[in-house]
Amino acid sequence: MSTTFWIILAGAIATYLTRVGGHLVISRFENIHPRVEAGLNAVPAAVLTTLVAPAVLGAGPAEWAALVVTALVSLRGGLMSMFLAGAAVLIIARQFVG
């Protein structure tokens, strides 16, 4: 078995642990401390931001234009429309900026 296979298998087990783990932990407690709940509520924004921020810093004008359009479309549209708008701007801008 290749290293890649073991990475996939271990990643699958780790992922399943996150999907079942919250229930297993919470079902042991009668009440959740408000600060723990606040921390858990912040997890999605906190994690996803870290996947964007360093990429934004290292990007150029074409990428920045795409991100600005993505953010603007997000005010009205859903995830799909904002993604398509951002991707379209990126592809067009790269024809000029490279």
Q: Is residue 38 part of the contact set for other proteins (CB under 8 A)? A: yes
Q: Is residue 97 part of the contact set for other proteins (CB under 8 A)? A: no
Q: Is residue 91 part of the contact set for other proteins (CB under 8 A)? A: yes
Q: Using the rule CB under 8 A, which residue among 1, 30, 31, 54 binds other proteins?
A: 54
Measure the CA–CA gap between 15 and 55, rounded to whole angstroms.
24
Residue with tokens 């990643």: 11
Cβ-Cβ contacts under 8 Å for 47 (sequence gap 6 or more): none
To the nearest whole angstrom, how small is the minimum distance from the Cβ of residue 23 to other proteins? Answer: 3
Measure the CA–CA gap between 89 and 47, rounded to whole angstroms.
26
Q: Using the rule CB under 8 A, which residue among 1, 30, 76, 79 binds other proteins?
A: 79
Helix residue spans in 27-78 (DSSP H): 34-57, 61-74
| Residue 98: strand, helix, or coil | coil
Q: Where on the chain is the footprint of other proteins (CB under 8 A)?
A: 2-12, 14-27, 34-57, 59, 63, 66-67, 70-71, 74, 79-80, 82-83, 86-87, 90-91, 94-95
